[in-house]
Structure 1
Amino acid sequence: MIKNFWRKTALAASLLSSAFIVSAADSNEKIKQAVEERVGLAVEKILPSPVSGLSAVLTNRGLFYVSNDGSFFIHGQMYDMDKGMANYSENILTDVRKQGLKDFSGQMISYKAKDEKYQINVFTDITCGYCRKMHKQIEEYNALGITVNYLAFPRNGINSKSFSDMVSVWCADDEQQALTDAKLHGDVKQKQCKNPVKDQYEFGQQVGVSGTPAVLLQDGQLVPGYRPPADMLKILQG
């Protein structure tokens, strides 16, 4: 009698678990279909959120929240008031940014500090005034022990002249010199090759970059805008 009870209980639990998995899969499919067909964004990952009936959806253009029936689409930050206003959205994006840095390792244009203490990863555009100002101070950043790694972010998109010029920079035999020449002198020698410019630009869009320069720290924190060398050092020192 007791054995039969536990067998039935285990069977019921198994059926409930299977039903939940099917339900979750159905919900994710509804969300994916709604976002891709009705909003026009590519869904890369769907995650559960702390709010019942709502899922976090990572797309090619950033993080959004969608109701599990695919009816409501929400753009904005989610904060947990029970945890001191912890930014749930930022926590998700931090992990995505750190993974992106691993994925683009060796594909950034780096200006290394001789006595390296820190690294910063900078989304940059060769036509951006503050990007040029920052680049003029590369030696000052390096002197403070800060290595600067550049990621491409042509602000006008993948069909712009800036995009094709940045492809040429990333394809140059001497990438560092080519980037310096492009930023400080407007001198770009056109060249084509397999390059990460499009992927880096789309990565920036995904993780919250809306302008240049934007500094991505090794811990996944995104620091928008230009920071002079001394100010950047203070940020890195915490």
Structure 2
Amino acid sequence: MQRASRALLAGLLAATLSAPVLADPAAELAERLSVRGESMPVESVTATPLEGFFEVRLDNGETFYSDSSGRFFLVGDLYENADQGLVNLTEQARNAERAERLAMIPEAERVIFRGAESRAVVSVFTDTTCPYCVRLHEEVPALNERGIEVHYLAFPRGGMGAQGARELQQVWCDANPSEAMSRVKGGEPLEGPADCDNPVEAQYHLGMELGVQGTPAIVLPDGRLVPGYVPAERLVTMLGLDD
């Protein structure tokens, strides 16, 4: 009886070890995706609730959907018709990615304004030559009083050859970047260098990858992107802090 049991267990183990490993459809699709014989710069492939279709994210931040064969593509947002209404699953994924990538930026590479209390953090892609950025900056003290930290990231809207790029580099090169940011947004020219090791260009490209098209661009803690100027009181409400 014991011999038979051992033989049965040995047979099951051998069958398990010899069984074919199930393929990973997402990984296979990532290797298969190509256009005219040239491989796509795929960053990730993930399954979706839509059976047989996968979300494909490219290195440049673009997203589309593909069937498992890589023959048919869908470009646009994927929605779920849920009990609470239409839910934009594509935007949810974008938000999660924004939050994750911004969390990787160390505080030393941000220009931070915070008050005595911290209840929330908003990241703001900004430009020194943007009038609405100046207007938002004027409300930073009010935001700080309500417990909202403002973390500035650089986004020279005219590109790296523009005046804003140089001024942002001067801000980041200053011994006190927050004071330099306030001075330049108050209309005071900066005299300091712009050629130190700074993150301005890297943040500019990151902003484009995350969907920033202009300034100011406010990213909420959950990764939602809010383009343009938002009054302090409205931002407080959006963050659920108006109690």
For the pair shown, the structure with the greater C-alpha radius of gyration is 2
TM tier relative to shorter chain: 0.7 to 0.9
Paired residue type of 1:87: N
Q: What is aligned with 2:98?
A: 97
Please report the RMSD computed on the Cα atoms of aligned residues, expressed in angstroms: 3.1
Tell me the CA shift for residue 53 of structure 1.
Answer: 4.0
Residue 51 of structure 1 pairs with residue 50 of structure 2: yes
2:157 counterpart SS class: coil
In 2: Cα distance, 1:124 partner to 1:59 partner: 26
Q: What is aligned with 2:64?
A: 65
More helix by share: 1
- Across the two proteins, how many residue pairs are aligned to each other? 231
Gap runs ≥5 in structure 1: none
Does the 8 Å CA contact 1:54/1:65 hold for their aligned counterparts? no
Q: Which has the higher contact order (CA 8 A, sep 6+)?
A: 1
Paired residue type of 1:15: P
Aligned-residue sequence identity (percent) comes to 30
Give the 3 Å change call, closer, same or farther, for CA 24–141 of structure 1 in structure 2: closer
The more displaced of 191-200 and 70-79 is: 70-79
Tell me the CA shift for residue 11 of structure 1.
Answer: 6.2
TM-score w.r.t. structure 2 length? Answer: 0.79
Paired residue type of 1:92: A
Tell me the CA shift for residue 205 of structure 1.
Answer: 2.2
Does the 8 Å CA contact 1:120/1:146 hold for their aligned counterparts? yes
Paired residue type of 1:26: E
In 2: Cα distance, 1:203 partner to 1:174 partner: 24
Q: 1:149-192, CA deviations, whole angstroms, 9 ceiling, x for partnerless residues?
A: 11112223334342233222212111112222332316233421
Q: How does 1:131-142 map to 2 (within 5 A)?
A: 131-142=133-144
Q: What is aligned with 2:214?
A: 211
In 2: Cα distance, 1:10 partner to 1:136 partner: 67
Does the 8 Å CA contact 1:59/1:206 hold for their aligned counterparts? no
2:57 counterpart SS class: strand
Q: 1:183-222, CA deviations, whole angstroms, 9 ceiling, x for partnerless residues?
A: 2316233421222222322322222222221211222222
Does the 8 Å CA contact 1:57/1:65 hold for their aligned counterparts? yes
In 2: Cα distance, 1:115 partner to 1:185 partner: 29
Q: What is aligned with 2:123?
A: 121
Q: How does 1:82-93 map to 2 (within 5 A)?
A: 82=82, 84-93=85-94
Q: 1:53-99, CA deviations, whole angstroms, 9 ceiling, x for partnerless residues?
A: 43223334434114244445543221112464222112222221222
In 2: Cα distance, 1:44 partner to 1:174 partner: 37
Does the 8 Å CA contact 2:42/2:57 hold for their aligned counterparts? yes
Tell me the CA shift for residue 34 of structure 1.
Answer: 4.1
In 1: Cα distance, 2:220 partner to 2:132 partner: 18
Question: Which of 194, 199, 202 is equivalent to 2:197?
Answer: 194
In 2: Cα distance, 1:56 partner to 1:161 partner: 39
Q: What is aligned with 2:75?
A: 75
Q: What is aligned with 1:166?
A: 168
